[in-house]
Structure 1
Amino acid sequence: MSDLKVFRVRGGRATEIPGASVAVERELQSLVEANMEAMLGIRFLATEYPTGQHRGRIDSLGLDENCNPVIVEYKRSRDQNVINQALSYLYWLQGHTHEFENLVKEKLGVEAAAPVDWSNLHLVCIAGAFSPHDKVAV
């Protein structure tokens, strides 16, 4: 698949959402974030989370059913940097565990932050396609 297609479903009828990559990527991100628990089993925490001096923004942050932190990155089409970008954010997150736990407390309550399991962080990359090198790296 060379280009990710996104559809709007109304009344049982699907129509493709036209538009530029950025607009469609943003709409896809909003759709996944609004339904993250049902679609991926991840409790949504934050969108476009700033990484400070790291100078990035994590597309979506969440917590899975096993209390593992999850980073979700979206790209509409093939992007050779999606895996590297996600790994870079994973590195940032490992150094900012207290910041993440404070976010969990703020969004889900103190009880949810206590059992955060840092032994198995997850990356979810949603893209139109992945390069052969991405597939080998993963």
Structure 2
Amino acid sequence: MPIYNINDNKLTQIKKVNFKNERELQRLTENNLEELFNLKFIESEFQVDNLRIDTLAYSEETNSFVIIEYKNTKNFSVIDQGYSYLALLLNNKAEFVLKYNQVLNENAGKEDFDFSQTRVMFIAPSYTTYQLKSVEFSDIPFELWKVSKFSNNTVLFNQINNSQAVASISQISTGDKKQSITKEIKKYSEEDLFENKDSIELYTTLKERILTEFEDIEIVITKLYAVFKVNKKIIASVTPLSKSLKMHVNAKRLDDYKNLCKDVSNIGHWGVGDYELKLQSEKDFDYFLELFSQSYEEKL
């Protein structure tokens, strides 16, 4: 449906316009990586073993690298190119870690990264039906983002969601190289996170309340915890325990008037946020949601 601009009660249609080239799209994305995707920029045109990565980024949420590829044409294979990039990273971990240390002035080793949560993002103005169908798996580590530029100097980044997919990429024959990558790279689900944990029912009830009471919530599942986000910014994270949930509220300031939160800002911990509290039952939800709301409002 067309979008219109309102001027003196008159409507003028806002039309789509083309990017000049892939480089224009790349510069726009790289200059706004944190705003768009909550990622840290590492390197543009990063080259290893005769392959060049358009943008190398890093995700603090998953402690892993993110590879971004831009396309202004439709004649490319998402699967083949995506797996080639993953193979490049897994076979050259030291080079990626070295570049991370050089850019961010860190001294990390390979063991400090979770390579199993590496993902590849494709960003393009459009995709073919074949490309869309090729990533319809529940556990494939690729994301397709459609970007639209408009005549009123605005832009829209929209992830093409395959959350309804139930098939696993491991169920089909993908070749020796792809099978070896699939064993090391894993896209985690709620079932993986809560495996053998009785707290899954408590989490499910909490999730339903959050999604009911707050708008535009995005849930991201990592290897060790789940995060609730709005505007790509983390509100809180939940780490499953055997029968309870360990919550971390990610806020600059928090009015914890019941003094139930533990300050973990100077303590190493799984999860995102400096305020930690435990939820034992649904009776704990109301107060936690008050804290959640403070962080939510901060991120709007």
TM interval, short-chain normalised: 0.7 to 0.9
Query: How many matched pairs?
Result: 119
Give the structure with the larger helix fraction: 1
Aligned-residue RMSD, C-alpha: 2.3
Aligned residue in 1 for 2:57: 62
Deviating 4+ runs (over 4 angstroms): 14-18, 111-114
Quick one: distance in 1 between partners of 2:70 and 2:79? 10
Residue 34 in structure 1 maps to residue 34 in structure 2: no
Where structure 1 has 5 or more consecutive residues not aligned to the other structure, the ranges are 1-13
State how 1:36-51 maps to structure 2 within 5 Å: 36-51=33-48
Aligned residue in 1 for 2:115: 118
Quick one: distance in 2 between partners of 1:85 and 1:42? 22
TM-score (norm 1): 0.74
Quick one: distance in 2 between partners of 1:137 and 1:111? 38
> Is contact 2:19-2:25 (8 Å) kept?
no
Aligned residue in 2 for 1:7: none
Quick one: distance in 1 between partners of 2:37 and 2:101? 21
Identity %: 31
Where structure 2 has 5 or more consecutive residues not aligned to the other structure, the ranges are 1-14, 136-300
Quick one: distance in 2 between partners of 1:132 and 1:120? 27
State how 1:1-138 maps to structure 2 within 5 Å: 16=17, 19=20, 24-52=21-49, 55-66=50-61, 67-110=63-106, 115-138=112-135
> Is contact 1:74-1:125 (8 Å) kept?
yes
Greater shift, 117-126 or 73-82, is seen at 73-82
> Is contact 2:78-2:134 (8 Å) kept?
no
TM-superposed deviation, 1:68: 1.2
Quick one: distance in 2 between partners of 1:106 and 1:49? 13
Instruction: Give SS of 1:126's match.
Output: strand
Greater Rg, structure 1 or structure 2? 2
1:17-62, Cα deviation, whole Å (9 max, x unpaired):
664xxxx21011011111111111110101111122xx22100001
Instruction: Give SS of 1:110's match.
Output: coil
Quick one: distance in 2 between partners of 1:105 and 1:17? 37
> Is contact 1:43-1:62 (8 Å) kept?
yes
> Is contact 1:25-1:75 (8 Å) kept?
yes
TM-superposed deviation, 1:95: 0.7
1:55-105, Cα deviation, whole Å (9 max, x unpaired):
221000010122211000000132333442232111111111111111111
